[in-house]
Amino acid sequence: MLATAGGRAVFHLRPRPPWRAPPPPATTHLSHSAPARRADHHRLPLGFLSTMEVGISSVYLGQRAHSATCSYSLDDRLQGELDDMNGEQRKQETVGAFQKIPMVMPATDILMSAQRKSRNVPPTKGIANIAKRERNKGAKQLDALMKELSVPLRTYTENFPKRRDLHPYERSLIELTFGEGYYEQVLGRVDTLRKRITSVGKQHASVCAKSTTKREAEERLTEGRKKLEEAFQHGKHAVDDLVNVAKALRSMPVVDLHIPTLCLVGSPNVGKSSLVRILSSGKPEVCSYPFTTRGILMGHIVSNHERFQVTDTPGLLTRHDDDRNNIERLTLAVLSYLPIAVLYVHDLSEDCGTSVADQYITYKHIKDRFGDRLWLDVISKCDLLGKKEPISFHDADDVAQYRRLGPEGALRVSVQSEIGVKELKERVHELLTSQMARIKASKAEHETQEIRTSVVY
């Protein structure tokens, strides 16, 4: 099914795989008295940013293109993948793999092209005997049909990235889009089809090559073609599912990890998108992830000739991480895996529809988990503060304090009345400049480590 959101095409895959994916980051519990828990994987992997600049991705694709000529099977590779998984020895330091995945031809097109090409294959020149010439032609045509059908399939299974080779953010996106295991399952089915085609093709080409008469060779060629086409038709859904997987992955918004990114977080309707608009230099782009019809704004901030990114996240509801839907999980994936600075938005007027008490719980939860990020708190819609009666009462002390002032150091802003906008822009610039310094420090640290490693080995 094809739907549109914010002017962009969004693909819903049918049949939609069952949703069983765990939340992207580790689970923690909602409680504002919970102590700070910062699992190591919330920090960026060592050298997270730097290797992007040496073009890991293109090297990686080059390796895949090379391996397409090798004959080891997907099973072998999966085994190798399992062997490698302990301790995640491989580094996943760049994003962008989805923009490089191969174009997948629909199954019907592969079949028609293979049929056409194989029928044009002539017998080897210089065979005078009619029966010999016919069986030579039959075997060559069956061999060509087999190859025309199976080589594209091998190219796909070889060139689609393995999950372990992906950046953790992209791994999360695969899980959020298709559900756990679906991506590997589709690639596995395509590989099974390839093996079946190869086996049927070889068998019939060999039988045809043993024909003793012209007629027998013709019959065996017809029979072989039929069997190959049947085998392909039987498994072609795998190819069409892969077409949809490729489309969905290619349609993902692209994030540039070289550039500091400001990420707006908060409950729904607190004013995040409005803030992205006033912070962006141009008109922010509306991006949609395939697993949501909701558009997400992505813009750029140009300040003192420096260029930064700014992005919205879907609003977080006050609930346990296990109960979060995919768009909330996307927010957690962004916070967990991308090198961002957080602008957390609080709507103390409760105009957003989420009570201050609930916003406080969500805020504490996120701050406890991701407090090591560079951070700025903003109280939005301050034109409304004082005018509206708050909805909830009986606050605990800390919530009462939060209701009056927001988190310590929070900046008061109103997009509507343009209050605090200038100061917000200045603070955001400072924050992103610090983020840039972190990126550079991380890069330097990684380079030092690489030099040490190359000296040791």
- Long-range CB contacts for residues 312-316, cutoff 8 Å, separation at least 24: 312/264, 312/272, 312/273, 312/276, 313/263, 313/264, 313/265, 313/272, 314/268, 315/266, 315/267, 315/268, 315/269, 315/270, 315/272, 316/265, 316/266, 316/267, 316/268, 316/362, 316/366
Binding of residue 270 to ligand GDP (CB under 6 A): yes
Between residues 161 and 271, which has the closer beta carbon with respect to ligand GDP? 271
Q: Shortest Cβ distance from residue 388 to ligand GDP (Å)?
A: 10
Query: What is the phi/psi pair of residue 399, to 5°?
Result: -70, -40
Question: Cis omega before residue 45 (within 30°)?
Answer: no
**Distance, CA of 49 to CA of 51 (rounded, Å):** 6
Select from 264, 333, 344, 326 the least CA-distant residue to 299. Answer: 264
Binding of residue 118 to ligand GDP (CB under 6 A): no
Tell me how many residues contact ligand GDP (CB under 6 A).
15
From the list ligand GDP, Mg ion, none, partner contacted by residue 194 (C-beta under 5 to 8 A by kind)? none
Binding of residue 273 to Mg ion (CB under 5 A): yes
Between residues 118 and 313, which has the closer beta carbon with respect to ligand GDP? 313
- End-to-end C-alpha distance for the chain, whole angstroms: 52
Task: By CB under 6 A, name the one of 73, 203, 269, 325 that touches ligand GDP.
Answer: 269
CB 41 within 8 A of CB 369: no
Q: What are the beta bridge partners of residue 343?
A: 264, 376
Residue 380, burial from CB neighbour count under 10 angstroms (0-12, 13-18, 19+): buried
Binding of residue 150 to ligand GDP (CB under 6 A): no
CB 145 within 8 A of CB 208: no
Binding of residue 288 to Mg ion (CB under 5 A): no
Task: By CB under 6 A, name the one of 67, 233, 416, 434 that touches ligand GDP.
Answer: 416
Binding of residue 272 to ligand GDP (CB under 6 A): yes
- One character per residue 76-115, x = contact with Mg ion (rule: CB under 5 A): ----------------------------------------
Distance of CA 53 to the CA centre of its chain: 20
Task: By CB under 6 A, name the one of 274, 326, 359, 362 that touches ligand GDP.
Answer: 274
Binding of residue 129 to ligand GDP (CB under 6 A): no
Between residues 187 and 265, which has the closer beta carbon with respect to Mg ion? 265
Options 41-49, 98-106, 381-389, 393-401: segment touching ligand GDP (CB under 6 A) = 381-389
Binding of residue 267 to Mg ion (CB under 5 A): no
Task: By CB under 6 A, name the one of 280, 414, 435, 442 that touches ligand GDP.
Answer: 414
The amino acid occupying position 80 is: G
Options 10-18, 42-50, 113-121, 269-277: segment touching Mg ion (CB under 5 A) = 269-277
DSSP code of residue 364: H
Between residues 343 and 439, which has the closer beta carbon with respect to Mg ion? 343
Binding of residue 380 to Mg ion (CB under 5 A): no
Of residues 67 through 86, those in contact with ligand GDP by CB under 6 A are none
* Interface contacts to Mg ion, rule CB under 5 A: 272-273
The residues that touch ligand GDP, with contacts defined as CB under 6 A, are 268-274, 315, 380-381, 383-384, 414-416
